[in-house]
Each structure stands twice: as C-alpha cells, then as structure tokens.
Amino acid sequence: MKRTVFMTLAILAFVVSFSTLGVPRVHADITLHFEFPEPVVKKAMEIEGAQYYSLTMKGLPTYGDVGLPELPLKPVRVLIPYGEDVENIEVSYGDKVKIEGAYAIMPAQQPVPTSYKGPYQPTLPDQQRVYSSIKAFPDTLSRHLSTQSKTLSKRQ
C-alpha cells in the first residue's frame, strides 16, 4: 500500500495571507489524511521461554513504554497559522486490518548505555497490565500530546 498524505493547503494559505492584511480572520479546518503500509510481523526474541514478535510498518518508528508492547507510531506535527488557536482535534479511522495469527508483541526494552559492559538482561513484559489482560492495547489509538509555540525575540 502506498502511503499518501493530503492536506488542505489552499485554505491554510488563504488564512495566512489575509491575517497579515488586517482583514478579519476566517477560521479554517486543516485536514490530514494518512494511509499506512501493511504491518510486518517477525520473530524478535525469546524471553523466559516465551516467543515475542516485532510489529513494524515501513517508514514508521516504533514506540512503547518499557515493559509494554512496542508498536509503530505515526508522529504528526501541524503548523498552525500565526495568531490562530487549536479549538478541536478530531481523529477518524478507516477499517481495521486483521493480522492472521496470534502474537505476543515484543515489550519495549529499557535503554542500555553503550558503555555498559555487563551481560544483557532483557526487560520482562508487564504481564499484569497488558499481556495477561483481555482488553485491547492500546486502549486509545491517538492522543493529543501538546501544543507548542515559538516566541521570536531580537538578539542583542
């Protein structure tokens, strides 16, 4: 599957151009559309006799809190026109893609300094929170982490 990204740049350009002319601002929606590549499942590591698998998608980094499943992640950054505020974020999803089989996804590992000389000790999965649970993980497919702004100042 090809990954495509569509953005309503015309509306964004319209808002930015009029915001500098003193014309009242027109509130506009910014719409992003993403298509994801097929997920790939591979044997990763055996921990205490249990086989764990990696789940990856081409071009996407993986992320997970230590001990929890390490999954593909799509970080998204959106530039908001100067002087505008984010009022609402809505995320909608297409059809779910079923992966045939049953897999225990590799838990994210504790980072190890490159200077560490001792034996490698893999991080054990968090059995109670995720691996022994019948609940879906993660429980939400998206989250809004932060809105950031940059203040320009003159250098002296």
Alpha-carbon span 57 to 40, nearest angstrom: 6
Domain range summary for the chain, segments of one domain joined by +: 1-35, 38-75+95-110+123-133
Instruction: Give 63-118 pLDDT, tens digit per residue.
Output: 999 999 999 998 888 888 878 888 878 888 888 888 899 899 999 999 989 999 98
Phi/psi region, residue 49 (left: phi>0; alpha: psi -120 to 50; beta: rest), is left
Instruction: Give 21-68 pLDDT, tens digit per residue.
Output: 555 556 678 888 888 899 999 999 998 888 999 999 999 999 999 999
